[in-house]
Structure 1
């Protein structure tokens, strides 16, 4: 259930092994204006194990060149990719990745895609989940239901599996800066992920794999944008320019208002399900562990979930014995939970450091004035904190 990164990739992997797979998705996979674009080396490694590395040409993609950090308009440091990883972080258009996964799965016998069809309930038989009830009233029976239906998972609630919510480190207002006028901004970014922190607030921007620029403006969790809230695209551009380095500030001020799309506020929910399974049911991806948007861990952890799940489920589903299937789902959760806990901890720590810079004007000003000396020290510290966020906590088997 759910044709996002976890559901679509798991469906493809299982269908390749000749298993009958029904993939249900209520949305029909229509394009969304804002979706995670960052594939870390950990996610790229998972795709490589799926036979999708190099990424197919149909997937819009842009390798990231560097990470740049500006405080009060001064460059603190810049860390070039790939930062010791096998591959650089790569920006992708997630919609085209999902379309490629579904296209490959649709060519396999036994795969069926129920686009635009919602599941409304779980079917139970003798204490075991035995399938789902669809919105049209029909029943779809299954040896195993895999819930990949997102952070607000209906199947998780129906199964009575509790999500332990954690405080969200931040909320984000998302904008897209598109033509006309964004071309010069894309050229200035030169493939970099740029973070700007100053008295007015903090934001990050990067060249989108879909074209144009994507910009995220950080706000207090559950709160509003800084007062007074900008009422027009021109006011937003002026706000971003206030703390930007001069070349970026000049480009932002010259951007036409028609190029600014947004803001769109996507709900940020962070949590972890301590139990991912019931007999006949398994949670994966955001249904099991909604992630903070920091470092795009949602898509990367979902792909790693699917890879581990496929490896354990294939023999169990071929055996078709309930006890074997339930043992496999328990093994999947046991394998994935430690990494998810660690990644969420690292995201919280990074959010606290960013919040400290946003709030402490004197500290930010001191670091900006001494960037020539403090920058290299902070870069080394930052690189060390990024290793697990980029590469995963541990290697996962890729011998499917």
Structure 2
């Protein structure tokens, strides 16, 4: 039986599932607690940027993509007042040969959990909501489940999302960023191929803004932009199609009307952007959306979560793995000398601070870039004269705008930090 330190990971999203797998694969005793019985939910981002694909490759998990529904994105298309402004093809100029890849996220999470469950030191507690933290001598020592059970651990990793209960229970403050939008997400059941040509298409016009893409799991996903806090209009599926069609080029408008019966009811995504003032407390680490809720602009959430998990595993394993080895023959105890567990805990808290210090600069920079891109989109949405001018001049200015936009995307696609090496990684 594993007698080393136990790590408790709360939340089986991209950060939690991948970190639990990385630790368990190295022999660390890991319990992964997930409130829901299934990773499926109304909305999960699908876009793996080169930065996220790099993290999966570093984990030795790129092969999982072949086993789950996925597709390579063909490009990024922008339409203004029903006229194509530009179409930038994947992979963008300056990228390594890693085109943005759409993946069915629930299926990917199940694949990660399947890998973890093959590790003897891994335990999955599914359908078990957490209600509180456990404390001992000023440090987090585990969690209390809603059913009253206590799970103890030397380290708790909170990957429980943007509304993180564990962040709140630990008194770690989330500083919210400026955000002026919410999103409505629709699923459109329809045959492939669609007129979207495999590209993520953003459409802007006097009626509003929406995006559309061919989903990795089949059909089309559509996102309609709302002002922050705006009430959802009482629209039927036919009404929504008639709001989207005028923003679309003629062939897409006709296709949307043809398949209107496949449009499901919308799900509201209340967009939240923020950064925890501190990502750790003694015995507790925040990762993913629990530490830094990301804007949906350019799909950074899953990518930053995977990179968080990789960095955390690289910094934690050198501390945890030596504690898995058989203990040396007992020596004469010395009065007042710290035990191995005390020494490990001291080093553990220092590692938590180091993980935050390593990850924070990339997150803060990318959040600023997301905000800048959102501001440019907001300007286009609100200024009719700008839309009209761009639509009229699209054949002349489109190529130059595409080249400039593609260059601006590089940090959001590649990330900004070099991923560390993982001891003993495959």
TM-score by length of 2: 0.90
What is the match of residue 273 of structure 1? 276
Structure 1 distance, partners of 2:357, 2:37, is 32
Q: Of 357, 368, 373, which residue of structure 1 is paired with 2:380?
A: 357
* 1:97 and 2:108 aligned: yes
* Larger gyration radius, structure 1 or structure 2: 2
Tell me the SS of whatever aligns to 2:157.
strand
Tell me the SS of whatever aligns to 2:253.
helix
What is the match of residue 345 of structure 2? 322
What is the match of residue 213 of structure 1? 220
Q: Of 382, 388, 392, which residue of structure 1 is paired with 2:405?
A: 382
- Give the root-mean-square deviation of aligned CA atoms: 1.2
Query: Does the Cα contact within 8 Å between 1:152 and 1:287 map onto a contact in 2?
Result: yes
What is the match of residue 251 of structure 2? 247
* 1:299 and 2:299 aligned: no
Structure 1 distance, partners of 2:418, 2:212, is 30
Query: Does the Cα contact within 8 Å between 1:15 and 1:105 map onto a contact in 2?
Result: yes
Tell me the SS of whatever aligns to 1:22.
strand
1:37-94 CA-to-partner distances (Å, cap 9, x unmatched) read: 1100000100011111144432210100010101011111110001132200000100
1:1-400 correspondence to structure 2 within 5 Å: 1-83=10-92, 84-86=94-96, 87-178=98-189, 182-183=190-191, 186-225=193-232, 229=233, 231-257=235-261, 259-318=262-321, 319=323, 321-399=344-422, 400=425
Query: Does the Cα contact within 8 Å between 1:46 and 1:398 map onto a contact in 2?
Result: no
Tell me the SS of whatever aligns to 1:95.
helix
Aligned-residue offset at 1:30? 4.1
Structure 2 distance, partners of 1:34, 1:398, is 33
Aligned-residue offset at 1:339? 0.5
Structure 2 distance, partners of 1:248, 1:230, is 24
1:171-216 CA-to-partner distances (Å, cap 9, x unmatched) read: 10000100xxx226x3322211111111101111000011000000
List runs of 5+ in structure 1 lacking aligned partners. none
Query: Does the Cα contact within 8 Å between 2:362 and 2:416 map onto a contact in 1?
Result: yes
Aligned-residue offset at 1:164? 0.3
Structure 1 distance, partners of 2:125, 2:62, is 27
TM-score by length of 1: 0.96
List runs of 5+ in structure 2 lacking aligned partners. 1-9, 324-340
Tell me the SS of whatever aligns to 1:34.
coil
